[in-house]
Chains A and B, each alone.
Chain A
Amino acid sequence: MGQITLQGVQKSFGPVHIIKGADLEIADGSFVVFVGPSGCGKTTLLRLIAGLEDVTGGAILIDGRNVVDVPPAKRGLSMVFQSYALYPHMSVRGNIAFGLKMAGIARDEINRKVEAAAATLNLTPYLERKPRELSGGQRQRVAIGRAIVREPKAFLFDEPLSNLDAALRVQMRLEVTRLQKQLGTTAIYVTHDQVEAMTMADKIVVLNGGKIEQYGSPLELYEKPANLFVAGFIGSPKMNFVTGELAKQQGATTIGVRPEHLKVERDGQGGWRGTVSVAEHLGSDTFLYVDAGPQGMLTARYIGELDLHPGDQVSLIPDPARIHRFDDSGKSIRA
């Protein structure tokens, strides 16, 4: 079991409020990603759950038991650090076995478990090596091995892939997801990369300025962002925002349209007219940055190749069903 509940969790460092009251219900076996810009408090929230920091207020429940006064080791969680935090003087075997050794488990059983974990992570040939003799991806695997071998109630990941190169990151992303599904253990994963969040999560927590902006599945966040912040943060390239008269016609302060929901017409008559200022041709997609006069700079995404160049006149026609409307306070207006 690994059900985690946060009730009004607060954290301040002196006068600075890092977490301003977080309420969250994480179901057993789910993969939850904390995402947000740097400084939003996502790592602090994770460390509060881990017990590496004391909460200033509120309760953290693991399987119904309040653990705010329980030391990290007794919470039954394991953590994968951004720097991996491998013990440099121990072999891979020693690193993975350390937690079990601390728990006083018999040597035979430790060996059996370590070897099983190593086999799962393709680390068997490296068991006797020291961390410094491993590549970045292998070190990452050792850190994960150290986490899974203890069969915790939940895994905590603190930006674990940010030190890997792009190709390896994609591969490890898949592996971590597959492993988590296979083990069925609850996972909380912190990242600033919204692609990681969208691809890995069952549910995403978007944090901003120490507050939870929205909690929902990836597609929920994409299709029904709760507010301007979430709308702007989720999705790449960013959503276009238009204010003023056009928004007022829709009964909103701001309206938002995603680049992929703008239809591009060469020399068209309807929609928003403008001049292409930059065109990025990726082959699979074409990104257009269009100077649309009163509407400002707009980004449009066309699937496939579109033969447009800087200076060309285009009109952009928003998909009426995909226009997001926001009120004065930035909250989403639902029809």
Chain B
Amino acid sequence: MATQQTQLLARTLLTPAVALLFIWMIVPLALTIYFATLHYNLLDPGSESFVGLENFRYFLTDPAFLASLQNTLVLVGSVLAITIILGVPLALLLDQQVVGLSIVRLMVIAPFFVMPTVSALVWKNLLMHPVSGLFAWIAHLFGLPAIDWFNDAPLFSVILIISWQWLPFATLILLTALQSLDEEQKEAAEMDGASAISTFIYITLPHLARPITVVILIETIFLLTVFAEIFVTTGGGPGLQTTNIAFLIYSQALIQYDVGSASAGGLVAVVLANIVAFFLVRIVGRNLEA
């Protein structure tokens, strides 16, 4: 709703951003699709040839793919479960009257601001080292044998680190949502004779349904392509135990230099992410109208 003159200007101002993002989206994706149909290895230059869907067949039937797909799903599912199951009570706790709340909030949020390589290395060495880590010492205090985290439970260890990074995110969003809950609604429920538990089940939880969905979708998009934490702790091992799809593609591209196969894998990752993105975009879009 404006005059034609301002509309023309508006279109002009929008163009650079749209053009850049369009190129950014279309060119690499088109190249990925193109490479995915080639036999193309950087160690063997000049041997490029069209192989059709051979790379996809190779990538999808590779036992490493199934293992990494499973690892990816376990990792995403576990981190989601942990961050939400812990995030809801934590948000509820921070929504209470707490002395020094602003300081507690800062402590809770802090892990989110730590760069992934730092948090992975600090956990791996200072906390989880089987001999000199703090966890080993605590186990020793209780007379328990120390756990060799990255050998005995490598995937779980990675999950633990990533959950620590994402718990603040879930908590912060749920807390924001809780604070927007109308206090009078809770008071009305109280007047209606609802106990604290029924207030939580019938008023608070439905109010949290949407933010929880948003947390799930956004975390999923980032967790599907977790990379740095695996890169600096386990390097995908032992064996394939902590290799997820992102790491598998990385190792095929930049360690084995198999461009064709890595590209095929990349497209698989794009498809997976798009399934999630579809739902997220719909939620955000609906909100845009309101």
Contact flag (A, B; Cβ within 8 A): yes
CB distance from B208 to the nearest CB of A (A): 34
Besides A52-B2, A53-B2, 5 other A-B contacts (C-beta < 8 A): A13-B1, A52-B3, A53-B1, A54-B3, A71-B3
B4 contacts partner chain A, Cβ-Cβ < 8 Å: yes
A-B contact pairs, 11 of them (CB 8 A): A13-B1, A51-B3, A52-B2, A52-B3, A53-B1, A53-B2, A53-B3, A54-B3, A54-B4, A71-B3, A71-B5
CB distance from A85 to the nearest CB of B (A): 15
Interface size on B, residues (CB 8 A): 5
Mark contacts of B1-19 with chain A using CB atoms, 8 A cut-off: 1 yes-contact digit, 0 otherwise. Answer: 1111100000000000000
A-B pair number, CB within 8 angstroms: 11
Mark contacts of A49-64 with chain B using CB atoms, 8 A cut-off: 1 yes-contact digit, 0 otherwise. Answer: 0011110000000000
In chain A, positions 36-56 with a C-beta closer than 8 Å to chain B are 51-54
Distance between Cα atoms of A51 and B6 in the complex (Å): 12
CB distance from B9 to the nearest CB of A (A): 12
Q: What residues of chain A lie closer than 8 Å to B5, measured between beta carbons?
A: 71
Q: What residues of chain B lie closer than 8 Å to A71, measured between beta carbons?
A: 3, 5
Q: What residues of chain A lie closer than 8 Å to B1, measured between beta carbons?
A: 13, 53
Q: What residues of chain B lie closer than 8 Å to A13, measured between beta carbons?
A: 1
Q: Which A-B residue pairs are the 6 nearest by beta carbons?
A: A54-B3, A54-B4, A53-B1, A71-B5, A53-B3, A51-B3
Interface residues of B, dominant DSSP: loop
Distance between Cα atoms of A13 and B1 in the complex (Å): 9
In chain B, positions 122-139 with a C-beta closer than 8 Å to chain A are none
Distance between Cα atoms of A51 and B5 in the complex (Å): 12
Q: What residues of chain A lie closer than 8 Å to B4, measured between beta carbons?
A: 54
In chain A, positions 54-93 with a C-beta closer than 8 Å to chain B are 54, 71
Distance between Cα atoms of A54 and B2 in the complex (Å): 7
Interface residues of A, dominant DSSP: loop
Distance between Cα atoms of A53 and B5 in the complex (Å): 11
Chain A residue nearest to B3 in the complex (CB): A54
Tell me which of A13, A51, A53, A54 has the highest count of chain B C-beta atoms within 10 A of its own C-beta: A54
Mark contacts of A75-114 with chain B using CB atoms, 8 A cut-off: 1 yes-contact digit, 0 otherwise. Answer: 0000000000000000000000000000000000000000
Q: What residues of chain B lie closer than 8 Å to A51, measured between beta carbons?
A: 3
Q: What residues of chain B lie closer than 8 Å to A53, measured between beta carbons?
A: 1-3
Q: What residues of chain B lie closer than 8 Å to A54, measured between beta carbons?
A: 3-4
Distance between Cα atoms of A52 and B4 in the complex (Å): 10
CB distance from A158 to the nearest CB of B (A): 14
Q: What residues of chain B lie closer than 8 Å to A52, measured between beta carbons?
A: 2-3
Distance between Cα atoms of A13 and B4 in the complex (Å): 13
Q: What residues of chain A lie closer than 8 Å to B2, measured between beta carbons?
A: 52-53
Chain A residue nearest to B4 in the complex (CB): A54
Q: What residues of chain A lie closer than 8 Å to B3, measured between beta carbons?
A: 51-54, 71
Distance between Cα atoms of A54 and B4 in the complex (Å): 7
Chain B residue nearest to A13 in the complex (CB): B1
CB distance from B4 to the nearest CB of A (A): 6
Distance between Cα atoms of A117 and B5 in the complex (Å): 33
Distance between Cα atoms of A101 and B4 in the complex (Å): 26
CB distance from A42 to the nearest CB of B (A): 16
Tell me which of B1, B2, B4, B5 has the highest count of chain A C-beta atoms within 10 A of its own C-beta: B1
In chain A, positions 9-58 with a C-beta closer than 8 Å to chain B are 13, 51-54
Distance between Cα atoms of A13 and B3 in the complex (Å): 12
Chain B residue nearest to A47 in the complex (CB): B1
CB distance from B109 to the nearest CB of A (A): 30
CB distance from A43 to the nearest CB of B (A): 12
Chain B residue nearest to A72 in the complex (CB): B3
CB distance from A11 to the nearest CB of B (A): 11
In chain A, positions 191-238 with a C-beta closer than 8 Å to chain B are none
Distance between Cα atoms of A162 and B5 in the complex (Å): 31
CB distance from B10 to the nearest CB of A (A): 14
CB distance from B5 to the nearest CB of A (A): 7
Mark contacts of A312-331 with chain B using CB atoms, 8 A cut-off: 1 yes-contact digit, 0 otherwise. Answer: 00000000000000000000
CB distance from A142 to the nearest CB of B (A): 25
Distance between Cα atoms of A54 and B1 in the complex (Å): 9
Mark contacts of A275-310 with chain B using CB atoms, 8 A cut-off: 1 yes-contact digit, 0 otherwise. Answer: 000000000000000000000000000000000000
Distance between Cα atoms of A51 and B2 in the complex (Å): 9
CB distance from B6 to the nearest CB of A (A): 9
Distance between Cα atoms of A51 and B4 in the complex (Å): 11
Distance between Cα atoms of A165 and B71 in the complex (Å): 64
Chain A residue nearest to B1 in the complex (CB): A53
Distance between Cα atoms of A71 and B5 in the complex (Å): 9
In chain A, positions 125-178 with a C-beta closer than 8 Å to chain B are none
In chain B, positions 1-43 with a C-beta closer than 8 Å to chain A are 1-5
CB distance from A203 to the nearest CB of B (A): 29
Distance between Cα atoms of A13 and B2 in the complex (Å): 11
Distance between Cα atoms of A6 and B55 in the complex (Å): 71
Distance between Cα atoms of A53 and B1 in the complex (Å): 7
Mark contacts of B133-167 with chain A using CB atoms, 8 A cut-off: 1 yes-contact digit, 0 otherwise. Answer: 00000000000000000000000000000000000
Tell me which of B3, B4, B5 has the highest count of chain A C-beta atoms within 10 A of its own C-beta: B3
Distance between Cα atoms of A157 and B105 in the complex (Å): 48
Distance between Cα atoms of A95 and B3 in the complex (Å): 24
Chain A residue nearest to B7 in the complex (CB): A54
Distance between Cα atoms of A53 and B4 in the complex (Å): 9
Distance between Cα atoms of A71 and B4 in the complex (Å): 10
Distance between Cα atoms of A269 and B3 in the complex (Å): 64
CB distance from B169 to the nearest CB of A (A): 33
Distance between Cα atoms of A54 and B3 in the complex (Å): 5
In chain B, positions 208-262 with a C-beta closer than 8 Å to chain A are none
CB distance from A75 to the nearest CB of B (A): 12
